[in-house]
Amino acid sequence: MEKLANEDMAALWNGASGQAWVDEQALLDQTYRSIEKLLADAVTASGARSVLDIGCGAGATTLAVARTLAARGNAVGIDISQPLIAVARARAQREGLATAFLCADAQTHDFAPASFDMMISRFGVMFFENPVAAFANLRRAATASGALRLMVFRSIAENSFMTTAERAAGPLLPKLPPRNPNAPGQFAFADRDRVQRILEDSGWTGIELAPVDVQCAFPLASLERFFTRLGPVGQALRDADEGLRKQVIQRIRAAFQPFVHGAEVRFIAACWMVSAGAAS
């Protein structure tokens, strides 16, 4: 893999966290299928023919776009995680889709200039160490009429589901890292003004952030896997002894009760749909 600017993220997503996302790929795809559809529909509406999926993970959104484009265009996914790209490539091969997946850092990758007329992302752009440099690099890869469509999370306060596990487990896991909304991470694009500045400073124009609330759901039977494998609590539990693990799980299960509806866990993903253009 080429030289990376985002070394901490590369270490995270090529290690245990990346493997956890590989293991839970089906659960995550089910949970965020509505968001995948929003982005695929945006590609269809735009008439784009060459699409880049930034931070594509295991490839669900890239593959959805590739099915939509069929023979009239092509979709390319890029991600920093070797384990997730390996899954994405295997999925494309099983479906017989001629979809390319790049294991590379979108902040520094040497894209061919003006090669994409649309760039999309499902929660994949909030992890850049230098987002202005990253989006400037991406803009160089966009055609003159190229468009950007990103789904990112709004604030922590509006996405209480996402921090339920760490709030509940905090008294038992005091070394959980605090959320820093200005650092690379899940909520790094929550601040509308910050996102506006990042995109303006990197050369994008016509920037709009539209609030979108997406109903998400997954089976109740998968809840324990969701919070013990993913996120900060999932990372902390990898080194916890069995007694502490049981206590944490009990507390977190009780905290998630407001989101349980019969045999499903349901929550609202409070997002921005970020739109911009490459035209000067």
- What per-residue confidence (pLDDT) applies to 2? 53
Residue 1 included in any domain: no
- What per-residue confidence (pLDDT) applies to 7? 84
- Reported as type and span, the H/E element at residue 130 is none
Amino acid letter, residue 100: A
Task: Please give the chain's pLDDT, 280 residues, in tens.
Answer: 455 567 888 888 898 888 989 999 999 999 999 999 999 999 999 999 999 999 999 999 999 999 999 888 999 999 999 999 999 999 999 999 989 999 999 999 999 999 999 999 999 999 999 999 999 999 999 999 999 999 999 999 999 999 999 999 999 998 888 888 888 999 999 999 999 999 999 999 999 999 999 999 999 999 999 999 988 898 888 888 899 999 999 999 999 999 999 999 999 999 999 999 998 7
With a CB cutoff of 8 Å and minimum separation 6, the contacts of 31 are: 216, 217, 218
Q: How many CB atoms within 10 Å of residue 113?
A: 9
CB burial of residue 200 (10 Å; 0-12, 13-18, 19+) = middle
Question: By the 8 A CB rule, do 247 and 184 touch?
Answer: no
Residue 132 included in any domain: yes
CA distances from 132 to 155, 185, 190, 208, 267 (A): 20, 15, 16, 17, 32
Residue 50 included in any domain: yes
pTM over 0.85: yes
Distance of CA 42 to the CA centre of its chain: 17
Residue 61 included in any domain: yes
Could you tell me the residue range of the domain that residue 122 belongs to? 7-277
Question: By the 8 A CB rule, do 101 and 110 touch?
Answer: no
For residue 179, what is the DSSP state? P
Residue 2 included in any domain: no
Question: By the 8 A CB rule, do 123 and 151 touch?
Answer: yes
- What per-residue confidence (pLDDT) applies to 4? 58
- What per-residue confidence (pLDDT) applies to 1? 45
Residue 129 included in any domain: yes
Beta bridge partners of 120: 53, 149
Reduced to 3 states, what is the DSSP secondary structure of residue 184?
coil
Residue 37 included in any domain: yes
Any idea what the CATH number is for the domain that residue 267 is in?
3.40.50.150
Count of structural domains within the chain: 1
Residue 180 included in any domain: yes
